[in-house]
Amino acid sequence: MVGANKYNESDVSNFKKKINSVISTYEIRIDNSMVQRLLKAINPEEDLQAGIDYEKQRIKIPDELCMSMMAYGFIPGVTFPVRRGLDGWHEYNFYTPLYINDILTVNCKLTDIKEKNSERYGTILFLEFETLIKNQINATVCVHKGAMILY
Amino acid sequence: MKNKLLFCDVKIGEEMPRIATYVKSRQLVMWAGASEDYMEIHYDKDYAFANGLKEPIVHGALKTAMLSQYVKSWLGDSAILKYFKCKYIGIDYVNTKITLKGEVKRKFINGDKHIIECQVWTESELGEVTTTAIARLEYSQ
């Protein structure tokens, strides 16, 4: 496996063409089942939020929902030839609270690519992203920056 | 752990109570579904092995979410998360012990905002730090 499927110059050049252009925009409505699934996944043994009705009680949804949306696989529209990848870092600034039935618009863009050569894996790419999440009244919910490492 | 600490209760240098957990493959599948992160290294043992890993690995974003909940649960609902930055520096394998730890780094007042900054991190069962994060929370008092 090592040595196979290395990124070549053409891949890197295609990545670089996408810098600073929005690579993904989508809308998502926050519903109760989405929040419950997420909370159970974070803490299946001790469901701290069990019994809370986020909709009826108009309770702010945990920020981890935004974190889950920034997960590696949740960048629809990305057509990069991802072979092997790891998360590098994530940074979140939270502004407006989220509630059930909010409709979020998520814009993700690639902001930078750095290359490093490795004998073992060939070209290692450090992709930096910025994601802006706004709600239905155009208030900023979260600004996310992050990096993925592809090799 | 569900606390309710006031701003005045929190001391710089204070250690948060550590929490040890085992992330099982069931939880990884649950997280994959909730976050739509279906990278095979998180649930397919053969795929993970073919990619140089000895077992499927825990999602970085799941560890982030666990750390975020950890600090928020400790401080309680009056503290609102405003900033969180995490860095992945090691791998955690499925079915191994992950310990969540944290410490208060800063505490300050900026205008009418009462702010606590904590460093939180995960440690593998070998005692290696695998994820580290800074969390900044604001008290709504």
Task: Please report the ipTM that was assigned to this predicted complex.
Answer: 0.93
Q: What is the pTM of this model?
A: 0.90
The answer for A118, left when phi > 0, alpha when psi is -120 to 50, beta otherwise, is beta
A50 at B interface, C-beta within 8 A: no
**Which candidate, A28, A90, A91, places its Cα nearest to that of A61?**
A28
Please indicate whether, in this complex, the C-beta atoms of B61 and A86 are within 8 angstroms of each other: no
**Which candidate, A18, A26, A30, A29, places its Cα nearest to that of A107?**
A26
pLDDT at A51: 62
Domains in chain A (CATH in brackets) are 9-150 (3.10.129.10)
> How does pLDDT run across B27-81, given as a tens digit for each residue?
999 999 888 888 888 999 999 998 889 999 999 999 999 999 999 999 998 899 9
pLDDT at A34: 86
Q: Could you tell me which residues come within 8 angstroms of residue B64 by beta carbon, excluding any fewer than 6 positions away?
A: A64, A67, A90, B84, B86, B131, B133
pLDDT at A110: 87
Identify the band that residue A79 occupies on the pLDDT scale cut at 50, 70 and 90: low
pLDDT exceeds cutoff 60 at B1: no
Interface residue of A90, A121, A142, A144 to substitute, partner B, most B CBs within 10 Å: A90
Domain boundaries, chain B: 7-24+57-139
Q: Which among B50, B61, B88 has CB closest to A71?
A: B61
pLDDT exceeds cutoff 90 at B98: yes
Relative to beta strand A22-29, strand A103-118 is antiparallel
**Which candidate, B80, B62, B69, B61, places its Cα nearest to that of B102?**
B69
**Which candidate, B119, B100, B111, places its Cα nearest to that of B138?**
B111
Angle between helices B60-75 and A32-42 (to 10 degrees): 90
CB contacts of A73 in chain B (<8 Å) are: 32, 35-39
Instruction: Give me the amino acid identity at A2.
Output: V
Percent of chain A with pLDDT over 90: 25
A103 at B interface, C-beta within 8 A: no
Task: Read off the pLDDT of each residue in B119-126 and give the average, rounded to a whole number.
Answer: 96
B62 at A interface, C-beta within 8 A: yes
From A35's Cα to the closest Cα of chain B, the distance in A is 8
pLDDT at A3: 39
B19 three-state secondary structure: strand
CATH number for the segment(s) B7-24+57-139: 3.10.129.10
Instruction: Give me the amino acid identity at A13.
Output: S
From A112's Cα to the closest Cα of chain B, the distance in A is 18
pLDDT at A4: 47
Quick one: DSSP state of residue A129? E
pLDDT at A73: 46
Quick one: DSSP state of residue B42? G
> How does pLDDT run across A30-78, given as a tens digit for each residue?
988 888 888 889 988 765 556 677 777 778 888 888 888 765 444 555 5
From B33's Cα to the closest Cα of chain A, the distance in A is 8
A148, with CB counted inside 10 A (0-12, 13-18, 19+), is buried
Contact B82, B24 (CB under 8 A): no
Task: Read off the pLDDT of each residue in B98-120 and give the average, rounded to a whole number.
Answer: 96
